[in-house]
Amino acid sequence: MRSTILAALLAGLLAAPAAVALSVPTPISTAIADPSRPAEDVERDATRHPAELLAFAGVQEGNVVVDWIPGGGYFTRLFSGAVGENGKVYAWVPKEIEAAHDMGAAATALGAERKNVQTVIEPFLATTTIKDADIVWTSQNYHDLYADFMGHPDVAAFNKEVFGMLKPGGVYVIVDHVAAAGAPPETGNTLHRIDPALVKKEVEAAGFVFEEESKVLANPDDAHDLAVFDDKIRGKTDQFVYKFRKPAA
């Protein structure tokens, strides 16, 4: 089953038109093919497009990658495999929400599972122990900055915190569910979506420069009016993928 899914994934990449062909570095393709990955992770590859996303983020061997709110560890494991033994991955969870959905326990398990993964559970706006990262990544979590369970932290301060943990030239990649243009921030709490324009405005205000967008998770058939857990759209939402860069100087 694993080999069949991987073959289909790679075949899809090879069949892409030359204009949009993607070069997937060997460390990324090796991480995806890692036989130690859980079967449920592998089954999600067809819809999560890990090869395209990790290549878009620029993940390389030896990188330091921060996975903010890693959930079950889908991307954390891929980052771990791609950066190799000379790289490092931080599974970063705010202490205020470590009990929610067992986030802290799941992150701790990832640290025990992978030698190059370090679990960091610390207060939301602490003076973080994470420094000189190459990439800070978060998938389907940014909208939760406006969710009740998160405690409504200072979003501007959070983005500044991310800015501080990156080395000059490092990147901040945000994947999230698209909300309708002009939707208020509270949509993050109600529909679990966020307006990409709001994200761009907030992140740029922290000093980042918007670099590019990937459309690999876009779905033009999503009307942006349903909660992401609604059976009519779950697993098929329109998602944006934004890359921001911390200026090199």
pLDDT over threshold 80, residue 61 = yes
Q: What is the mean pLDDT of residues 1-20?
A: 41
The rounded distance, in Å, linking the Cα atoms of 80 and 118 is 10
pLDDT over threshold 60, residue 12 = no
- The mean of the pLDDT values for the chain is 91
* DSSP helix/strand/coil, 59: coil
What is the domain extent for residue 193? 2-245
pLDDT over threshold 50, residue 34 = yes
Say if strands 133-139 and 209-214 run parallel, antiparallel, or are unpaired.
unpaired
Instruction: Return the DSSP state at 151.
Output: T
Cβ 156 vs Cβ 127: under 8 Å: no
pLDDT, one tens digit per residue, over 115-133 is: 999 999 998 877 678 999 9
pLDDT, one tens digit per residue, over 149-206 is: 888 899 999 999 999 999 999 999 999 999 999 999 999 999 999 999 999 999 999 9
CA dihedral (238, 64, 76, 85) positive or negative: positive
CATH number of the domain that residue 120 is part of: 3.40.50.150
Count of structural domains within the chain: 1
Percent of the chain with pLDDT strictly greater than 70: 91
pLDDT over threshold 50, residue 243 = yes
